[in-house]
Amino acid sequence: MGKINQFDCEDEKLNSFLFKKAIPYQAKLLSTTTIILEKNRAIGYYSLLIDNLKISKTQFESNTSYKKKIKELISFEKRFVTTFPAIKIGRLGIDKQYKGKGLGKLIVNSIIIDAIKINNQIGCKFITVDAYQTSTQFYEKLGFKYLTTSEEKINTRIMYFELTSVIQ
């Protein structure tokens, strides 16, 4: 555990979650946390939980942009569906010494998405994340899209990755 306490992704909330909340959250089935170790030292971690991506008119500037988004997500007739099953990346952090080396990309692409692909036993349309404004470009590069055109919150934006693009 000593080597986990050395972890520093330069975000106090994310560090503190790993040190203090990851285990109790897992025990209460609120989220799972996976730690990536190198020589027994934590170099990255991520937490996952079930989500329900809700799309409501109030998130959009106009009814037209709302309908456009629904049409984009559901191409068949039942467009009244406005909530979608998802898995949420609750937290993702890479130690400052390991940032910019492809570890974040590896976690999202080769660990999270591949695990969902392999375990394709339940309906799940999206991976979602409340992305920090400072990390939205990282998620964009991995193929995540913005739910709305405008910003819902000051610090974060809801982004989603469509699993139909990798699961046939």
Q: Which residues bind ligand COA (CB under 6 A)?
A: 9-11, 14, 92-94, 99-105, 129, 131-132, 134-135, 137-138, 141
Query: What is the nearest approach in angstroms of ligand COA to the Cβ of residue 62?
Result: 28
Q: Given its phi and psi angles, is residue 56 left (phi above 0), alpha (psi -120 to 50 degrees) or beta?
A: beta
Backbone angles phi and psi of 111, in degrees to 5? -110, -60
The candidate with the shortest Cα–Cα distance to 24, out of 50, 47, 41, is 47
**Cβ closest to ligand COA, residue 138 vs residue 146:** 138
Query: Is the distance from CB of 22 to CB of 45 less than 8 angstroms?
Result: yes
Query: What is the nearest approach in angstroms of ligand COA to the Cβ of residue 32?
Result: 16
Q: Which residue is nearest to ligand COA (CB)?
A: 104
Query: What is the nearest approach in angstroms of ligand COA to the Cβ of residue 92?
Result: 5
**Cβ closest to ligand COA, residue 68 vs residue 101:** 101
**Cβ closest to ligand COA, residue 73 vs residue 92:** 92
**Cβ closest to ligand COA, residue 42 vs residue 94:** 94
